[in-house]
């Protein structure tokens, strides 16, 4: 006999049901809070089971709400499986036509789904990789927020000084942002003098002022329309960008400290920067638990869908299941690899010559990278372009 424990996870409380392999419900849905006393409740209930029999626990992956409970139960020595909510929902649809959803029913269905096949038990992440996953995901959110503020600055410039970005090839460098922060109105830029420019340089180290005089002259004939409110909005956005830059520097220092200790062979691959390497290590748990490179591709949701029926057999688009952040990292990494690594550049051009579109060719670069990365990490060898 085997005990199946289905847990329905929520933010403040959880529900669980225990059934046997014979289908007997030996514990109706029980609610416990997401705190120490609550965890002791399920611990005591599990302790009352016959431990000579196998005990399997299943719960759905629910963002971060399940993580503390999983670690608690694993520490108690129990086998815990983290289930895909989509697959659980699909399982329920094949068993009933009734449209009913309650916490009591959910934990019962999870227990029944747990009986349907032999699921892999939760494997704890390597501590450095768990840290890297949290840090890189959080860092990526900050990068996106910074980009949003940069868009605001660009939109404001389109109103008050559309010619400004042309001096920086369309990109707003640190020097450009510093100038706009110190002189956020066109009238203020018009009044720039050598003394004022020198003052900016002394206050902000490392900026280039070579174009400031030309910008001043252009401000005098700009087609933009002065607007104090838009200038104010722009200055506040730039202030947030500077704050984000300081935060990102702190993140980079912490990530670099962990990566220096890991000494990962991924960084030996030309085109793989520290941010990409740390993201991949964190998301893939240093490839622990992955038997081959194909599983790495599937985990990221970058494998192609396939439809085969009778005489029909074709491959479709990427399934895009799994971590969006991991897919974003890998696809951007492919661009860097094709630009800075001769091996991957040749492979990319080969796929383009075969008629593959830009995105499809990049996907092939990702496939090749994962094969190479898996081999290097598995054998702890550095990348060698001649091999």
CB neighbourhood size of 271 (10 A): 21
pLDDT tens for the chain, residues 1 to 387: 899 999 999 999 999 999 998 888 888 889 999 999 999 999 999 999 999 999 999 999 887 888 899 999 999 999 899 888 888 888 888 877 677 777 778 899 899 999 888 887 766 666 688 899 999 999 999 999 999 999 999 999 999 999 999 999 888 999 999 999 999 999 999 999 999 999 998 888 888 888 999 999 999 999 999 999 999 999 999 999 999 999 999 999 999 999 999 899 999 999 999 999 999 999 999 888 888 888 888 888 886 654 444 544 345 555 566 788 999 999 999 999 999 999 999 999 999 999 999 999 999 999 999 999 999 999 999 998 765
In angstroms, the CA 80 to CA 14 distance is: 15
155 SS3 class: helix
Measured between its terminal Cα atoms, the distance across the chain in Å is 53
The DSSP symbol for 185 reads: S
Sign of the alpha-carbon dihedral angle for 212, 213, 218, 224: positive
CB neighbourhood size of 122 (10 A): 19
Side-chain-side CA neighbours of 95 within 13 Å: the count stands at: 15
> How many angstroms separate the Cα of 151 from the Cα of each of 76, 155, 328?
50, 6, 20
The DSSP symbol for 167 reads: G
In angstroms, the CA 330 to CA 40 distance is: 41
Kindly calculate the radius of gyration of the chain based on its CA atoms and give it in whole angstroms.
28
Please tell me the pTM assigned to this model: 0.79
């Amino acid at each position: 006999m085997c005990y199946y424990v289905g847990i329905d996870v929520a933010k403040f409380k959880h529900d669980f049901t225990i059934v046997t392999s014979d289908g007997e419900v030996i514990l109706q849905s029980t609610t416990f809070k997401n705190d120490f006393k609550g965890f002791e409740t399920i611990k005591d209930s599990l302790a009352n089971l016959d431990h000579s029999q196998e005990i399997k626990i299943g719960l759905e992956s629910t963002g971060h709400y399940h993580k503390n409970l999983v670690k608690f139960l694993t520490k108690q020595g129990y086998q815990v499986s983290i289930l895909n909510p989509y697959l659980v929902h699909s399982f329920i649809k094949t068993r009933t036509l009734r449209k009913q959803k309650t916490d009591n029913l959910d934990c019962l269905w999870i227990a029944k789904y747990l009986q349907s096949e032999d699921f892999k038990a939760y494997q704890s992440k390597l501590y450095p990789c768990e840290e890297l996953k949290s840090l890189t995901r959080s860092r990526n959110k900050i990068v996106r927020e910074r980009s949003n503020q940069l868009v605001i600055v660009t939109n404001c410039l389109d109103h008050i000084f559309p010619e400004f970005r042309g001096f920086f090839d369309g990109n707003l460098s640190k020097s450009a942002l510093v100038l706009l922060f110190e002189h956020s109105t066109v009238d203020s830029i018009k009044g720039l003098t050598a003394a004022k420019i020198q003052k900016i340089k002394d206050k902000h180290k490392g900026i280039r002022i070579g174009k400031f005089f030309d910008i001043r002259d252009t401000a005098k004939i700009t087609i933009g329309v002065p607007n104090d409110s838009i200038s104010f909005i722009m200055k506040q956005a730039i202030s947030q960008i500077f704050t984000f830059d300081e935060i990102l520097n702190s993140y980079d220092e912490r990530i670099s400290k962990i990566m220096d200790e890991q000494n990962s062979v991924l960084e030996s691959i030309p085109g793989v920067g520290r941010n990409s390497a740390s993201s991949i290590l964190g998301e893939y748990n240093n490839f622990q638990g992955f038997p081959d490179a194909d599983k790495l591709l599937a985990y990221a949701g970058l494998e192609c869908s396939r439809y085969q029926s009778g005489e029909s057999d074709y491959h479709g688009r990427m399934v895009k299941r799994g971590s969006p952040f991991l897919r974003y990292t890998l696809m951007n990494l492919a661009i860097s690899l094709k630009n800075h690594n001769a091996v991957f550049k040749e492979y990319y051009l080969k796929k383009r010559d075969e008629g593959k579109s830009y995105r499809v060719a990049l996907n092939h670069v990702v496939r090749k990278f994962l094969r190479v990365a898996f081999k290097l990490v598995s054998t702890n060898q550095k990348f060698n372009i001649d091999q």
